[in-house]
Amino acid sequence: MDIIYLGDLRIETIIGIYDWEREVKQTVCLDIEMATDIRKAASTDHIDDTLDYKAVSKRLIDFVGSSEFQLVETLSERICEIILNEFNVPWVRLRLNKKGAIRGASDVGILIERGERTD
């Protein structure tokens, strides 16, 4: 199994349960690992034979930027569903960071894996 990843993809969105969070966009930071097989792309040297990380990032920027979830759990689950279903990825690991959510902590967030790893 090969991994294509996106690191520190920052997206502004409405996220949170408090009244003020429903009115002010906050930044969520995504670290994403996606299972794939790069051998065909390595052989052909053609973008159509690989997982297009630009297409993945564009889709997620559009989705997350227009979402208004209360919980990072819900947002994380939906992001993984998009990656698995729309990009034909068998396994994904997502780390979603909601910086500044807790005073005194530099990071807070969630780490989830969905799908099946095929090593």
Cα separations in angstroms, 25 against 19, 97, 114: 12, 14, 27
Q: Are 80 and 107 in contact (CB under 8 A)?
A: no
Which residues participate in catalysis according to the annotation? 98
- Residue 109 tokens read as 């967030």
Q: Which two tokens stand for residue 68?
A: 């208004």
Of 58, 98, 54, 103, give the one whose Cα is nearest residue 75.
98
